[in-house]
Structure 1
Amino acid sequence: MRSFCLLLSATVFAFGLSSSALADAAEDVKAAYDQWNEDFNSGDAEKLASHYSDDAIFLPPTHTVVEGPQAVQEFFAALFDSGVTGHTLEIIKVIEHGEEITAAARWAAKGGDGADIGGIGTHVFQRQDDGSLKLALHTFN
């Protein structure tokens, strides 16, 4: 019986650590999303591109493969020029895999004509040495 209790305690403890780590990952993604939205809504494409790793792949619904922060900056500069504003992200799910975190989110914004636009986004973040997150893969519809 004692062995069972020790095994049960160890399992509960390990589950608690996993739940805690996942909660931390979700908090980190929320913070990354909040900063990304802030930079998007400022209309600063250069600042927004700083959220992407040097080897990032960005896959917009145009079916264009955009690689690296400079190309991401150019994509968003054109989007800002078209008048898109008011971006938000709402977490659907966060999954942590070591130094990478995958997140799915609902996104919404105002189109240049004022219409509501939105969809689903998928993001793969890489944890940086300072603990921050950078996007390695970003796709949305």
Structure 2
Amino acid sequence: MKKLFNILAVIGFIATGAASSAMADDTDATVVLNTVNATWNDTFNSGDSNALAALYAEDATLSPGNGTVLEGREAIASLFKSFVDSGVHNHTIETINAYHQQDQIVQIGKWQAQGTNEQQEIITFGGVLMTVIEKNADGQWITQSHIWNMGQ
């Protein structure tokens, strides 16, 4: 419940514009976010869904924009395995804005990936994402919550 309250509090700060500072003003947080995103993209693009799920907290939540919420690493690994098995690759993340407080970073960004259509042609697709990244007890930055949608 405490983690949920923290996430809701950060989202509330974003909505009211009261977040402590934008990432552009904080070099350390920017470096963390760039590293987290690069690791996430590299791991997804390697096709290792279990390694990708390990970048999430044990009790992480993820919503792939279809009205469902997945909970935990096993469910997250299963979803990403289905994407990899379907040929999704070349994933990238572009941060649009991010906010931080202490050991938590909230990112809003754009994502893009490639796959193939029924004619086996390469297509590019993407959308908007929001992630909540927290420093765990071991000092590692992991994803606590991840939500995305898909644009036209």
Q: Indicate whether the TM-score tops 0.5.
A: yes
- By how many angstroms is 1:21 displaced? 7.5
**TM-score under structure 1 length normalisation:** 0.82
Q: Report the 3-state secondary structure (helix = DSSP H, G, I; strand = E; otherwise coil) of the residue aligned with 1:63.
A: coil
Partner secondary structure for residue 115 of structure 1: strand
Consecutive unaligned residues of structure 2, counting only runs of 5 or more, are 1-21
Q: Which structure shows the higher helix fraction? A: 1
Contact 1:105 1:122 (8 Å CA) reproduced:
yes
**If you compute each CA radius of gyration, which structure gives the higher value, 1 or 2?**
1
One-letter amino acid matched to 1:55:
D
Deviations 1:72-116 (A, max 9, x none): 000000111111110001111121112211011111100232211
Query: 2:104 pairs with 74, 95, 100, which one?
Result: 100
Letter matched to residue 40 of structure 1: F
How many residue pairs were aligned? 124
Letter in 1 for 2:77: Q
Structure 1 residue identity aligned to 2:87 = G
- Name the SS for the 1:64 alignment partner: coil
Partner of 1:69: 73
CA–CA separation in structure 2 for the residues paired with 1:20 and 1:88 = 20
Q: How far did residue 19 of structure 1 move?
A: 7.8
How far residue 20 of structure 1 moved from its aligned partner, in angstroms, is 8.9
| RMSD over aligned Cα atoms | 1.8
Query: Does residue 125 of the first structure (1) align with residue 129 of the second (2)?
Result: no
Identity among equivalent positions (%) equals: 32
Instruction: Return the alpha-carbon distance in structure 2 between the equivalents of residues 41 and 101 of structure 1.
Output: 23
Structure 1 contact 99–127 (Cα < 8 Å) conserved: yes
Q: TM-score, normalised by structure 2?
A: 0.76
Q: Gapped runs of 5+ residues in structure 1?
A: 1-17
Specify the code of the residue in structure 2 equivalent to 1:112.
T
Provide the rounded CA distance (Å) in 2 between the counterparts of 1:21 and 1:133: 20
- Say if 1:60 and 1:134 are closer, same or farther in 2 by CA, change over 3 A: same
* Alpha-carbon separation, structure 1, partners of 2:136 and 2:73: 16
Q: 1:129: Cα distance to partner?
A: 3.3
Measure how far apart 1:58 and its partner are: 0.1
